[in-house]
Amino acid sequence: MSLQDLTPQLRTRLNKMERAVGWFVFLATALLLFGFGYYIYHTAERKGWFVEKAHFRTYLQSSAGLKVGDPVLMMGSPVGEIIQIFPMPPDDRRNVRVDFEIRAPDFRYIRSGGSLVKVNAGFLGQSQLEVTRGAVGTFAVTVTQPVFRKSIDELRNLVVTESNQWQLSQYVCDLHSNIVFLPYQPYAGLTLSNLDLLAALKLESNSVYAFNNQNNAKHVVGVWREELQRYESYNHLKDPPVELRALESVPVAERLDQIISQVQGALPGILALTNQLSAVLDNAANATSNLNATLVAAQPLVTNFALISGQLREPGGLGVWALGPNGNGQIQTALTNLNGLLNGADTNLVRLVDNLVPTLENLAGITGSLKLQVQANSNLLWGISKTVIDADDMVQGLKRHWLLRSAFKTKDTNASAATAPIIRVNSPRGTAQ
């Protein structure tokens, strides 16, 4: 059936349906385009397509575990990605070059002092690049302020028209290599007095490198050159990426291989040590069994010792244990007898002393009488002495008499003994005569 054959009511209804379908298709297409555009914008924002980037490079011994598109970390967070990996020529001493980019504002943490690239080797062969933050007080490697070389006279005019905007981008030293100004100084902007001081230093070409702190580009336009001690202009489209020093760690697989090799080398010693430990344990088991038997045998001894110590703790236990049950009685009897003996000895000693006193008095009387007789008769001692001498002469004469000579014979062992000389004592009276 053709459209002309339809009634006017049906044709009107069909036209309305066609318009509704057309509007639905238009809205669906618009929503699809809007969603696709939002996805592209969100992806571009997430990947940093609309932010400033700084390009860097580093040289590695091996790129194992790295691939293009991998994130680059800084302080644990992704701040960029790897954009290129390729090997170096055969005659180059370096193996692999890795180019990567860091998004703003994170590339401002990369400074001339201390920033480097670390390769974190993963356990399953995966690796990650991590850029370390530079030390505080050093200078950013890349900047977005254009660097200009200006003479002192040009800076005078700029300082007058654009005050507090111009700062130095280099070290300034005097003739003795003493630092006068650092990059970014003066921090409040150059002044006419600063320019007078710079003019007095008589710098080469009477010019310095400076930048306008109000002029920021949308990409990196300046790079710090350590060998020049200043910032230099940089073209991100023509100049090569900025080089950073790399610090590579040994991959985990290689470390595991080294550990396994060390374990294999130490395994014979470990087995020998295990055998020695087994022998020591066997000896310890034997010693334990012998000690157990010794303890069982010593149990009666311990029991007897406990009984003896219990008896010794009782009053008089030591005497009972040493002398027997009757020892205390015998000791008491002996002490009683000894006490009686001491009492008797004391009494007898008193009596003896009492008896000794008269005897001593009698002896004193005799000695006194003898002393008086000797003092009264001075020839008494001479007479006694003469009597003794005469008696000795008589005995000596008897010894020489032929009849009695045999009675005074001495033994041969005493024949060699010398006879003591006889001393004759003359009385004082005889001397006087």
Confidence check: pLDDT of 19 > 70: yes
Confidence check: pLDDT of 372 > 70: yes
HSE-CB for 393 with a 13 A CA cutoff: 8
Bond prior to 315 in cis (omega within 30° of 0): no
Please calculate the CA angle 104-109-110 and round it to the nearest 5 degrees: 100
Sign of torsion, CA 106 107 108 114?
Answer: positive
Which of 258-272, 276-290, 343-357, 369-383 is predicted most confidently? 276-290
In a domain? residue 35: yes
Confidence check: pLDDT of 377 > 60: yes
Confidence check: pLDDT of 339 > 70: yes
* Cβ burial 168-204 (10 Å sphere, 16+ → b, else e): bbbbbeeeeeeeebebbbeeebbeeebbeebeeeeee
pLDDT category at 5 given cuts 50, 70, 90 is low
Residue 146 CA to its chain's centroid (Å): 53
In a domain? residue 39: yes
How does pLDDT run across 25-72, given as a tens digit for each residue? Answer: 999 999 999 999 999 888 877 776 778 889 999 999 888 889 999 999
In a domain? residue 24: yes
pTM above 0.85, yes or no: no
In a domain? residue 415: no
For residue 160, give the DSSP letter: H
How does pLDDT run across 77-121, given as a tens digit for each residue? Answer: 999 999 999 999 999 999 999 999 999 889 999 998 789 999 987
How does pLDDT run across 247-274, given as a tens digit for each residue? Answer: 886 655 566 667 777 777 877 878 788 8
In a domain? residue 184: no
Please calculate the CA angle 182-187-188 and round it to the nearest 5 degrees: 145
Number of domains in the chain: 1
Domain that holds residue 42: 3-47
**Range of lowest pLDDT (194-198, 263-267, 413-417, 428-432):** 428-432
Among 132, 111, 115, 146, which Cα is nearest to 224's?
A: 111
CB contact set of 308 (below 8 Å; sequence gap of 6+): 321
**How many secondary structure helices (H) and strands (E) does the chain include?**
8, 16
Output the six-digit token pair for 310: 């219990």
In a domain? residue 387: no
How far apart CA 82 and CA 66 sit, in angstroms, is 9
In a domain? residue 190: no
How far apart CA 59 and CA 96 sit, in angstroms, is 6
Per the CB < 8 A criterion, the answer to whether 427 and 379 are in contact is yes
In a domain? residue 164: no
